[in-house]
Amino acid sequence: METKINYQKRALRELESFQGKKKSLLFHVCCGPCSCYPLTFLAPYFDITIYYANSNIYPQAEYEHRLAELKRLLECYKRDRGYDIKLIVPPYDNEAYTKHLAPLAHLGEFSERCFLCYRLRMEEAYDYAEAHDFDYFTTVMTVSRQKNSQKLNEIGAELEKKHPHTKYFYSDFKKNKGLEIGTEIRKQYDLYNQDYCGCVYSYEEALKRRERAAHEEKTNP
């Protein structure tokens, strides 16, 4: 039986090695709600730059909405907590991105289609981190119950081998009540909380869920 690694403990050991000296971190982020706890956890140890690499998100209006909410969170954090977090937004190209996922369109969520999506976004962001001399790179996605943290960290470890300057920061942000703390912060700032992951296929699945819920509400008032 495969033994799962405790990435939260690994993260804490890495932070202890800093000995009070802040490092630079390029942080791949997908939305505001997912960022609430991880930013709180990371800010004391890193000078953080967020990289919003999310061409997977469909439609574009949803992409823009999530980006606007992320910007609003960063403004709140600067005002209320003194976090000075920079934001980089690369070009949005959902059409090109979806072509990569199309061969796996028949697969559902939590499948190889999702793992490919993780890798594409992480690699884009990691390339930027390496090219711009960041000390570390990591992704916010390990905070989600709907994401496979073991797989995300495996991808991070593989990508680290291709990026000799920038280290990968292992994480499992949902541990130690990370989800609960993040939820409270999201409610505090009244952040929009999406009901699907992002790609056109998860969007279509969300539409079906909404239709079923509406039908059940009509038939069971």
Instruction: Enter the tokens of residue 76.
Output: 């709140």
Inform me whether the pLDDT recorded for 217 exceeds 90. Answer: no
* Residue ranges per structural domain of the chain: 7-194
Residue 215's pLDDT is 73
Average of pLDDT values for 179-193? Answer: 96
CB neighbourhood size of 124 (10 A): 16
- The pLDDT score that the predictor gives to residue 173 is 97
Q: Are 15 and 52 in contact (CB under 8 A)?
A: no
Residue 6 clears pLDDT 80, i.e. is over it = yes
Asked if residues 125 and 53 have their Cβ atoms less than 8 Å apart, the reply is yes
Average pLDDT, the chain: 94
% of the chain with per-residue pLDDT over 90: 86
Under the banding of pLDDT at 50, 70 and 90, the label for residue 1 is: very low
Confidence class for position 221, pLDDT limits 50, 70, 90: low
Q: Please report which confidence band the pLDDT of residue 218 belongs to, taking 50, 70 and 90 as the band edges.
A: confident
Tokens 């982020």 correspond to: 29
- What pLDDT band is residue 2 in, cutting at 50, 70 and 90? very low
CA 182 to chain CA mean position, Å:
13
Q: What is the pTM of this model?
A: 0.94
For the segment 58-74, the average pLDDT, to the nearest whole number, is 98
* Distance, CA of 21 to CA of 205 (rounded, Å): 45
User: Any idea what DSSP says for residue 150?
Assistant: H
Q: Is cis: bond before 59, omega within 30 of 0?
A: yes
Per-residue pLDDT for 104 more than 70?
yes
Read off the pLDDT of residues 126-149 as tens digits, 9 standing for 90 and up.
999 999 999 999 999 999 988 999
Fold of 7-194: Rossmann fold (3.40.50)
Average pLDDT over every residue of 104-112 = 90
